[in-house]
A and B are shown apart, each in its own frame.
Chain A
Amino acid sequence: MGKKRKHSETQTAEPRKKDEGAPERPKRTLMGWKDKDEVNQQTESSPDSPQVFRNKEKVMVTCSRRINYRYRHLMLNMVSLLPHCKKDNKVESRSSKGATLNELIELRGCSSALFFECRKHQDLYMWMARCPNGPSVKFLVNAVHTMEELKLTGNHLKGSRPLLTFSSNFEKDAHWKLLKEMIIQIFGTPKEHRKSKPYHDHVFVFSIVDDHIWFRNYQKSVPHNESDKMVRGLDKMTLVEVGPRFCLNPIKIFAGSFGGPTLYENPFYVSPNQIRALEKRKKAGKYAKKVKAKTRRKMHEQSNPLEPDEFADMWRE
């Protein structure tokens, strides 16, 4: 997995503090002893400090076969936005989906996955899963706008760490909290990642409107007149939209990775197939209804004959 670079404290066996599903990671903070229970520990000197935390998140990004061009571009945008991801080849079939994908993730040594599944060349489903035994979520993706659209004019450093903002209604319910946690771990770039760049010049917006999660990516832009002042015109800071836009509709949350018992099901979700079927059914009866309406009118006219018109003979020659 991750090679130790400069911070080469050899960490042999990371002691497990709690009995958790996720593997214990040593904590480390830049500022030294920022945390409560490390006040008496020297983090730099001790080679085997269990408190150093390193975010070793790796995300595997794949898609299914027969994916649409638009969704493929969305996937590529995600790859460029997350420097801690690994892009993999297309996965084949859906029958043994869970097992195959889990194996792939293990093989690449990743801890989470973003899987884009496109059905019927029309609908895009996105799976966010945590590999070993974590929860997984299936979303339906709507309203996709990729970064290549010329109306989205912003630009930012490739690999700079994003600022994640969530609207306050993520705290309202348990399933939103779980989703928020997963989003922070998957979309947040780890702190000293090899490919990450300094400065934080873009913001991700996740907000829940109408029970959907909306995603936006903005670049922070400041007018460049005053140089090098920290408080440099923060009032004049504007945001320019950069990145892809999409809207996620959560369908189901599973306890295991790509399977397992269902923890949550969206009660309002209607699958796009059903929507299309409904529409077709609505249209199907149009001709029959028209014919029926005609016969009804005829019957009505026959049963209620009009009175003879006074002016009927007026213009007769």
Chain B
Amino acid sequence: MEMMLYFHAMGLRRKDLSFLQSGKAVEDNVNDVMGDYSEEDDSESVSESESDQEDVKLAEPSKTAIYNREGLVEKCEDISWPENVGWMHKLSLDVDQEKEVDVNDDLARELAFFTQALEGTRAAFDKFQSMGLPFLRPPDYYAEMVKTDAHMQKVKGKLLAQKRQIEESEERRKARDAKRIAKEVQAEKLKERAKQKKQEIEEVKKWRKQRQQSGFKDGKDGMPDLGFENGKAFERSSKKRPGVSRGDRSGGKAKQGGGKSNNKNKKNREFRNSKFGFGGRKGMKKQNTAEMTNDVLAFNKSNAAGNRKRKR
């Protein structure tokens, strides 16, 4: 009766309950030990918990559930194989499960299944060892597998794709970090240079003011202390900018006078020149020299072709 009230509270109608009670109607001659079961499971306290298989349990066990213990035991004995059947026929193992696993925690649940399988396998392996029978599949045994080769290819493809994705994302992240760091370093360097420049200008100004204040006296102390006397020679920066000829196309970065590699570079250059032609010296086409500026007459003559393009 309590079940009826309970379901009424949940708003169900009577005919929905009929399937739950059908068992009672059918069985006549089987001992009904209903009370036996209900006292066992009253300790269940699962309120409407959504286990992850979208399945709702009753808040309290339905009181009219049938549990025919003797019938069950009898049937079990009926169907079971005779007692002295060897283990080899059954191949069943019982694995101890120490602690309760929470159903909704996927990882823990799968881990529990995994460890159960592993322990079972170990125990079976020991048994097989003692009986001297082969256990695992030798690597050269080829037979029909339960998944086709085509399917396994797909699986492999997917695994590789996943791995590649991971690697790519790693690389992208590293590249982003490196870029950020490089930018910071560059900003630092620029700041340094600007500071240095400002400092030097300040010093010159100071010196000028000093000189002004002390009335333009000429003496050795007047010169600003630029560090010439310190013994440090004028240090050339390591970038090889000066000393490049005007027509040089290498941008000043070609090594000047490197002994060993010079011949190789020359050979390389000659090869390239022969293949693609010499590019010409850089920037010697037009020059603003003294001769040209004085040569007003030559202007009109020499640039006759260009004059056509000017607006008339």
Residue of B nearest to A171 (CB): B94
Minimum distance in angstroms from B149 CB to a CB of chain A = 9
Q: Are B86 and A30 in contact (CB under 8 A)?
A: yes
How far does the alpha carbon of A201 sit from the alpha carbon of B142 in the complex, in Å? 13
Let me know if B53 is at the binding interface, CB within 8 A.
Answer: yes
Identify which of B69, B103, B116 contacts A167 (C-beta below 8 A). Answer: B116
Q: Are A153 and B155 in contact (CB under 8 A)?
A: yes
Let me know if A9 is at the binding interface, CB within 8 A.
Answer: no
Let me know if A261 is at the binding interface, CB within 8 A.
Answer: yes
Minimum distance in angstroms from B110 CB to a CB of chain A = 8
Minimum distance in angstroms from A116 CB to a CB of chain B = 17
One of A263-271, A286-294, A299-307 at the interface = A263-271
- Chain A 243-285 against B: per-residue CB contact (8 Å), 1 yes, 0 no? 1000101001101000001111111111110110110010000
Q: Are A166 and B95 in contact (CB under 8 A)?
A: yes
Residues of chain A lying within 8 A (CB to CB) of residue B30? 255, 261-263
Q: How many A-B residue pairs have CB under 8 A?
A: 268
Q: Are B95 and A150 in contact (CB under 8 A)?
A: no
Let me know if A184 is at the binding interface, CB within 8 A.
Answer: yes
Identify which of A158, A222, A267 contacts B136 (C-beta below 8 A). Answer: A222
Let me know if A228 is at the binding interface, CB within 8 A.
Answer: yes
Specify the main secondary structure of chain B where it touches its partner: mixed
Let me know if A191 is at the binding interface, CB within 8 A.
Answer: yes
Let me know if B159 is at the binding interface, CB within 8 A.
Answer: yes
Q: Are A191 and B145 in contact (CB under 8 A)?
A: no
Interface, chain A (partner B; CB < 8 A): 17, 20-22, 25, 27, 29-31, 34-38, 53, 55, 80-81, 130, 134-135, 140, 142-143, 147-148, 150, 153, 155-171, 174-175, 177-178, 180-182, 184-185, 188, 190-191, 197-201, 203, 205, 207, 209-210, 212, 214, 216, 218, 220, 222, 224, 227-228, 230-232, 234, 237, 239, 242-243, 247, 249, 252-253, 255, 261-272, 274-275, 277-278, 281
Interface, chain B (partner A; CB < 8 A): 10-12, 16, 19-20, 23, 26-30, 37-38, 41, 44, 46, 51-58, 61-63, 65-69, 71-73, 75-76, 78-82, 84-86, 88-97, 101, 103, 109, 112-114, 116-122, 124-125, 128-129, 131, 134-139, 141, 143-147, 151-152, 154-155, 158-159
Q: Given A150-B158, A166-B93, A267-B62, 17 more contacts at CB 8 Å?
A: A25-B81, A31-B86, A35-B84, A53-B82, A134-B75, A134-B78, A166-B92, A168-B94, A184-B90, A185-B79, A199-B134, A214-B109, A224-B139, A237-B121, A261-B30, A268-B57, A268-B62
